[in-house]
Structure 1
C-alpha cells in the first residue's frame, strides 16, 4: 500500500500488520511518537495487558494501570444519570487513591445561556459542563482522569480540555444499558443502522 494511502483498516480482510507488515511505510515515524509522557503511558498499559491478560475486569485493569503510572490522585468525571455507579466506582478507587469526583452538571449552567437545544421546552435545563469538569480536575492536579458515562460529544470536550491522561470506564448508551457494542451484536439494531437514511 502506498505511503500516502488513506487508512481503511476496518475493511481490511487480512490485517497483516499483526504479523509485522508496515502497510503504510510509516513505522519509523510512528516509533518517534512513543516518547516522554507517551512512553510512560504506553509501558504501563502494555505491562497491565501482559501480566493480567483476560484475568482482570476493566475497572481492575484501570486501577493497575494507575498504579503502574505511580498515580496517587485520580479524577472521576461522571454523568449525573450514573451517580449511583460513580459512587461505587469512587468507593472502590478510594481504597487505592485520592479521588476527586466532578458531576457533569457542576456550576449549574443553563442551556439557554449558550443557545443550546433543550430536551423539554417546559422547564429550565441545566447543561452538561464537560469543559468545567476537566478544568476542576486540572485545578486539583489529578494525575489520571476516568470518564464515567459522559454524553457523546461531551466526552470529546472533556478529553480535549483535560491536562491529565483520560481513560474511560463506562460509555453512555441510554438505550442499551450503557453497552454500546450491543448495537452491532443485535441483528435488528445493526440492520436498522446499516439501512437507515444517512441524512437522518
Structure 2
C-alpha cells in the first residue's frame, strides 16, 4: 500500500469548521499553513471581483437553503444571484434526455442557454489512436470520440458566462474543465452502474457486496 502524507481525511476533529485551535492535530493543514499563502488567498477573495462574488453568493445560498434545495434548484438560484446572462451546458449525448428537462427548467426561469453534446465534430476514435478492440463497437463502423475540448471552445464562441457539465465521462470532464473559459459547475457525474449516484459506492463500501473489500481489508 502506498504511504500517503497525513492530510484532512486523517483528521477526526475537523476543528477548522469553528477554528477550535486546541483540537487541531499536529498535522492540521490549517495549523501548519503558510501564513503568506493564506494571506495571498484571502486577498484574492477580497480583491478579485469575480472570485469574491462567487464565494459570497455560494456561502449565502448555503446558509439560506442548506438541506432544503436540490442541486438543480441551487444551480438556478446561483445563476440568478450571479446575474449570468447565458448558460452553456456541456452534456453527454447519453444524458441528453436529462439535459432537455433541465433546459426546460432554465427556459421556465427565463434563463438563456446553449447546449453542446459530447460527440460534436463526429471524429472517429481512431483519429486519436484508440484501437478497434478498445471501442464500444470493436471497430465495426464509425465510432465518434467524445470531444470535450471542442465543447469548451464552442461554448466560448457562443459567449456563455457560466457553464454546466452534465454527465461527461471521467477524464472527458477533466479536459472540459481544463479548457473552459467560463466559471463552471458540475450537475451530474456519470455512473451507469449506480444510476449516476457514485457516492453509493462509498456508502456501501463496507457491505457484504462491496467490491472494495480487498482495498479496505475487510
Tell me if TM exceeds 0.5: yes
- Residue 18 (structure 1) aligns with: 17
SS in structure 2 opposite 1:128? Answer: coil
User: SS of the counterpart of 2:121?
Assistant: coil
1:16 Cα deviation (Å)?
1.4
Does residue 29 (structure 1) correspond to residue 11 (structure 2)? The answer is no
Number of the residue aligned with 2:194:
176
Alignment match, 2:175? 157
Q: Which moved more, 1:117-126 or 1:87-96?
A: 117-126
Show the counterpart of 1:8.
7
Shift of 1:165: 0.6
Matches of 2:108 and 2:145 in 1, distance apart?
32
Residue in structure 2 matching 1:130, options 148, 163, 171: 148
Secondary structure at the counterpart of residue 116 of structure 2: strand
How far 1:44 moved relative to its partner? 1.5
Q: Give the corresponding residue for 1:66.
A: 79
Query: Using the alignment, how far apart are the partners of 2:136 and 2:215 within structure 1?
Result: 23
Paired residue total? 192
Unaligned stretches of 5+ residues in structure 2: 22-29
1:49 aligns with 2:62: yes
Larger radius of gyration: 2
Q: Residue 32 of structure 1: CA displacement? A: 2.6
In 2, Cα distance between equivalents of 1:189 and 1:43 = 43
SS in 2 for 1:167: strand
| Alignment pair present for 1:147 and 2:142 | no
Report deviation, 1:91: 0.8
Q: Deviations over 1:116-158 (max 9, x none)?
A: 2422314221110111111110011111101110000111111
Residue 120 (1) aligns with residue 137 (2): yes
Q: Return 21-30 or 105-114, whichever deviates more.
A: 21-30
Provide closer, same or farther for how the CA distance between residues 28 and 169 of structure 1 changes in structure 2, counting only shifts above 3 A: same
TM-score under structure 2 length normalisation: 0.82
CA deviations 1:56-103 (Å, max 9, x no partner) are 111000011111111010011111111110100111112231110000
Counterparts of 1:81 and 1:137, CA distance in 2: 19
Write the distance in 2 (CA, Å) between the matches of 1:189 and 1:171: 25
Structure 1 residues without counterparts, runs of 5 or longer: 1-5
C-alpha distance in 2, partners of 1:46/1:176?
A: 30
- Identify the residue that residue 27 of structure 2 maps to in structure 1: none
